[in-house]
Each structure stands twice: as C-alpha cells, then as structure tokens.
Amino acid sequence: MRREVVIDQIHAAFDGNPYPGDAFLQGSFEGCEPAEEVGAFVGKTDWSKLDSAMLDGHYAALSFFSEAGFRFFLPAYLIADLREQLQTADPLFYLWHGFATVSAEMPVRSQTFQRRSGGTTLLNPKRYGAMTWVDHARYRLSVFTREEAQAIVAYMTYRRRSDAMGLDKPRIDAALAAFWRDRAENAPTHEELQRHLNSEERFTSALLRAREEEK
C-alpha cells in the first residue's frame, strides 16, 4: 500500500471527529508536565492544520492525553510520521506498547534482575491491582471505531513493511495479533456511535420535556 493511500485512509476515518473540548484533553494530572504538554493543544480544533514541528516539540503529550484527546490528535502524528517529518515523536510506540512483551536484564551489584513490561506482566499492583499491561492497552485504545482501527492497521502495516532493520516488526506483529486486527473487524462503527448519540439526545430531550411539564 502506497503512503498517500494510507494518509487518505487516515483522513477518511478521522476527519469527522468532533473536538473533545478544552476541558477534556488531559488524562494525567500527576505533576506539572501533563498540563504543559497537553496545554499546547488547547483550542486546536482542527488537527489537520497542526505543524509537524509543533507535534514533535510536544511528543510527550501522547502519554498525557485523555482517551478523547488521544483519539482526536493521533491522526496528526500518524500523517506527520508517514511523511517522515518527525524527529522525536513516535506514535507507533503508543500503538504496540503494552501488547508486546519487552524484557531486559539489569545488574545491581552482585545480582541480576529480569525486568519485564508489556503483555501479561502486571502493571503496578499497588495502584492497579491485577491489571496487566495488555489490559491497560486494550482499555486505552478501545476508544477507536472500526474505521479508525482499519486506518491504524494500514499505518502499522506500512510502517512494518518500511522497517528495513526489522526492529519494530515483532512488536507490531504482537499488537496486530492481540488487538488491532480484531478491532478493525469488530469495533463499533462511526454509524453505530452516531446512532447511540442520537438515541441519548432523544432520551435527554424527552426527559427534560417531561420534567418541564411536571412543574
């Protein structure tokens, strides 16, 4: 698949998404960095107009966005990455991280510890109980519709094929197998989301009318 075809698919999948609102972009509130990074995106209601240098300068925002913020701004990063305009930001990492198991040996004086993250490794039992890395990744990335997931699969497949050194291929394969291919086939569609929103709006309107009539 050619790069421009993938870019067109990303636009088709994400262009209609509404801006979440200034108050709903930030997901992490630990320390001052999240507000500083995500704050740069406040009021940016058209992701397609964001400059790649701005995206690169706020690469850490991908870690601090709310799910809604991540969904809205991710396509800007994906397209900039496909056009090879990013020097620091790595949107691909956030699409495979958690699904692929990464391990490393860390020596501490006379002892060597095996440190693992991703997959079925526990995330942080003191804070998240029995949640694993893959549980957390599934939760965060389940925000994407079927069409959006299909565009993401196209992006990941393109990146996999263009990875001459093969460094990311095992991680991409793990994420595609564990989550993305199924998401691209079975996630709710844009139409299903809109039907749900319309139904909720009708219910809310009816409820308000009933309350007004009771006064």
Q: What is the C-alpha to C-alpha distance for residues 71 and 65, in angstroms, rounded to an integer?
A: 9
Tell me the per-residue pLDDT of 56-75, one tens digit each, with 9 for 90 and over.
999 999 999 999 999 999 99
User: Per the domain annotation, does 204 fall within a domain?
Assistant: no
Question: Does residue 82 contact residue 91 with C-beta atoms inside 8 Å?
Answer: no
As a whole number, mean pLDDT of residues 117-144 equals: 94
- pTM confidence score: 0.91
User: Per the domain annotation, does 86 fall within a domain?
Assistant: yes
Q: What is the C-alpha to C-alpha distance for residues 4 and 2, in angstroms, rounded to an integer?
A: 6
User: Per the domain annotation, does 153 fall within a domain?
Assistant: no
Confidence of residue 199 (pLDDT cuts 50, 70, 90): very high
Please count the structural domains in the chain. 1
Question: Does residue 23 contact residue 38 with C-beta atoms inside 8 Å?
Answer: no
User: Per the domain annotation, does 117 fall within a domain?
Assistant: no
pLDDT confidence of residue 86: 96
Q: Check pLDDT > 90 for residue 1.
A: no
For residue 3, give Cα distances in angstroms to 22, 80, 135, 180.
32, 11, 31, 19
Report residue 171 as tokens: 């991680």
User: Per the domain annotation, does 180 fall within a domain?
Assistant: no
Can you tell me whether residue 124 is helix, strand or coil? coil
Whose tokens are 């056009």? That residue is 83
User: Per the domain annotation, does 9 fall within a domain?
Assistant: yes
Q: Which of these, 65, 152, 57, 137, lies nearest to 102 by C-alpha position?
A: 137
User: Per the domain annotation, does 96 fall within a domain?
Assistant: no
User: Per the domain annotation, does 19 fall within a domain?
Assistant: yes
Tell me the per-residue pLDDT of 40-51, one tens digit each, with 9 for 90 and over.
999 999 999 999
Number of H helices, E strands in the chain: 12, 2
**Domain enclosing residue 71, as ranges:** 1-91
